[in-house]
């Protein structure tokens, strides 16, 4: 029975992610364009998600960042910016589908700037390399996985641009510790094993995030998806 429950939980998270992928495909096809502001794009994403996909809740704020704003921490509330014809931007959403959280992020390049394109195209391969190293040793801690993410970013020729490389995901709302940005995150200081059980006795599931920065050119990129469910 326990195995069946865990299988169902994993399947629900994967289904939520699949629905998020469909949403992102429509965002790229129908909404992303130069000449609109980050806020306008965020509002259009909200409307699209509500009307086409029935999304009523996001478990974290919608994040749309472009140009130099891609280097800023997620927690910062930035001055709105107009998306340019040769821009780089990323979208990070946390939609809830049937009480299961998704967390999905993608980076887009408008135009053909080679550095921006190179950074965007490095994100998924870097994620794959970190995932492969996790699969080789799933008993590693959050701190160890964060170090691997930083190492792989540097090996790819970029800087890792955030203080965390992932977090828990689950049924809404997932397990949290107020004002604690270490214990349930892929970050320095988290000595707990990634594959440990949650307080509810269920297997914990995680999102792996890749943040690549090129501070010389003032751009960054972002990519995230489920780490522990495939």
Burial per residue of 154-163, b for 16 or more beta-carbon CB atoms within 10 angstroms, e otherwise: eebebebbbe
pLDDT score recorded for residue 111: 96
pLDDT score recorded for residue 144: 98
pLDDT score recorded for residue 1: 43
Residue with the larger pLDDT of the pair 202 and 71: 71
Assign 59 a pLDDT band (cuts: 50, 70, 90). low
Assign 175 a pLDDT band (cuts: 50, 70, 90). low
pLDDT score recorded for residue 123: 98
Distances (CA, A) of 155 to 127, 129, 150: 12, 11, 9
Residue 175 makes CB contacts below 8 A (sequence gap 6+) with 168, 184, 198, 199, 200, 204
Residue 229 makes CB contacts below 8 A (sequence gap 6+) with 10, 13, 14, 17, 205
Range list of H helices, the chain: 2-30, 38-53, 114-136, 142-155
pLDDT score recorded for residue 102: 87
Does residue 229 contact residue 14 with C-beta atoms inside 8 Å? Answer: yes
* 202 pLDDT higher than 60: yes
Nearest to 149 by CA among 168, 124, 131: 131
CA distance linking residue 15 with residue 137, whole number of Å: 26
Pairing state of beta strands 164-169 and 205-214?
Answer: antiparallel
3-class SS of residue 73: coil
* 57 pLDDT higher than 60: yes
Assign 172 a pLDDT band (cuts: 50, 70, 90). low
Q: What is the mean pLDDT of residues 58-79?
A: 90
């Amino acid at each position: 029975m326990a195995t069946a429950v865990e299988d169902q939980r994993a399947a629900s998270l994967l289904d939520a992610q699949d629905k998020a992928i469909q949403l992102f495909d429509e965002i790229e096809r129908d909404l992303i364009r130069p000449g609109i502001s980050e806020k306008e794009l965020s509002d259009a994403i909200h409307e699209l998600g509500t009307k086409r996909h029935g999304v009523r809740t996001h478990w974290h704020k919608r994040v749309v960042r472009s140009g130099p704003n891609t280097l800023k921490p997620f927690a910062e509330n930035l001055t709105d910016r107009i998306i340019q014809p040769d821009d780089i931007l990323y979208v990070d959403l946390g939609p809830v589908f049937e009480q299961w959280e998704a967390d999905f992020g993608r980076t887009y390049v408008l135009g053909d700037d080679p550095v921006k394109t190179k950074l965007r195209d490095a994100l998924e391969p870097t994620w794959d390399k970190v995932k492969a190293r996790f699969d080789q040793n799933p008993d590693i801690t959050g701190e160890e996985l964060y170090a691997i993410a930083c190492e792989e970013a540097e090996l790819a020729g970029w800087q890792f641009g955030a203080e965390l490389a992932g977090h828990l995901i689950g049924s809404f709302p997932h397990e949290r510790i107020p004002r604690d940005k270490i214990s349930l995150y892929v970050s320095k200081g988290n000595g707990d094993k990634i594959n440990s059980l949650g307080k509810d006795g269920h297997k914990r599931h995680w999102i792996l995030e890749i943040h690549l920065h090129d501070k010389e050119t003032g751009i960054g990129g972002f990519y995230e998806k489920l780490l522990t469910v495939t």
